[in-house]
Amino acid sequence: MIRSVFSLLLLGVTLASPLSLAEPLKGVDGQAVDIAPPRRVVAVNSSLVEILFALGKGDAIVGTDVGGTWPPEQAKIAKVGHPYHPSIEGIISLKPDVVLATEENLTPATAGQLRSTGVPVLILENSAKDGMDGLKRRIDIVARLFNVQEAGKRMQQELDKQRADLNKKIAAQKKKPRILFLYAHGPGEAFVYGKETGVHVLIELAGGQNAADFTTGTKALTAEGMVAAFPDAILMLNRGLEAVGGVEGALKLPGVALTPAGKNKKILAVDNTIRWVGPRFPQFADTVFTAIHEQPSR
């Protein structure tokens, strides 16, 4: 059944193929694509969706995953499933000229299945890799795919300016607060995020230090781990903080009430997309910077 669907959809993909690039673009997996400018794109990863809209190419997106929240227009775009487990059939049914994804969202096997049906796939580096510099490289390759390099350079320059402005504010501070990120689905399940994550990038960009230096990637929350981390502030996704019952609910998570963050109720909600480093990261970091340097009310 799947094979027959692939065959039928492959015909549509092939007929829709646009012109070639002057020079093929090679993805982080070594596989190249040779199409430009794409007219129909499936973008898996909210960071890529935001880059495309910022480059003025949002209209080309015909499908994306359910993880994005920005810009508001993305809500009207067809969804292809979970950002880490997108539907192959759903992607193919949209007849994209190309699938854009980061390496954490499409496994080599999934990318291979798509390519076997004739769908070009361009895999970019992990969206949490190398922070803002990695983001700028992803912007560059997307801009080249659409032949809008000047727009890409302006976007990179604006990010550099925002980061420089933020660094000036950080340099005036004497302390780097310890910040912990908690990812929670509800009161009974929470994880901390360590290094090699988008959250780690956000914390450092905001002038803090990741209190979860006892782990790389993610780790289940324990009371002992929380107390050892001793965070000055705790970050949670908007939906995560809501799921545990707000700040008062977060204080009931293991160990939280015993930390400076818990005692000062410095538990901050952040955008639901921050696990993927995107164009709004300097703005997010500026907001976190302001919040973590506020003095606790007495």
Residue 282: pLDDT over 80: yes
Q: How confident is the model at residue 15 (pLDDT cuts 50, 70, 90)?
A: very low
Other CB atoms closer than 10 Å to residue 30's CB: what's the count? 7
| Token reading at 23 | 């020079």
| Residue 214, pLDDT score | 74
Percent of the chain surpassing pLDDT 70: 91
* φ, ψ of residue 282 in degrees (nearest 5): -60, -35
What gap in Å lies between CA 282 and CA 74, rounded to an integer?
A: 21
More confident residue, 152 or 186: 152
Q: Are strands 32-33 and 25-26 parallel, antiparallel or unpaired?
A: antiparallel
pLDDT digits (tens, 9 = 90+) for 97-140: 999 999 999 999 999 999 999 999 999 999 988 999 999 999 99
Q: Are strands 85-86 and 81-82 parallel, antiparallel or unpaired?
A: antiparallel
What gap in Å lies between CA 97 and CA 116, rounded to an integer?
A: 14
Residue 16: pLDDT over 80: no
Q: How confident is the model at residue 264 (pLDDT cuts 50, 70, 90)?
A: very high
Q: Which among 40, 58, 139 is positioned nearest to 99, based on CA atoms?
A: 40
pLDDT digits (tens, 9 = 90+) for 135-177: 999 999 999 999 999 999 999 999 999 999 999 999 999 889 9
* φ, ψ of residue 3 in degrees (nearest 5): -60, -40
Range with lowest mean pLDDT among 10-24, 156-170, 196-210: 10-24
Q: Is the dihedral of CA 269, 274, 280, 285 positive or negative?
A: positive
* 175-188 mean pLDDT: 89
Q: How confident is the model at residue 8 (pLDDT cuts 50, 70, 90)?
A: very low
| Residue 176, pLDDT score | 92
| Token reading at 277 | 């480093």
On whether the CB atoms of residues 116 and 100 are closer than 8 A, the answer is no
| Residue 297, pLDDT score | 53
What gap in Å lies between CA 240 and CA 298, rounded to an integer?
A: 27
On whether the CB atoms of residues 132 and 159 are closer than 8 A, the answer is yes
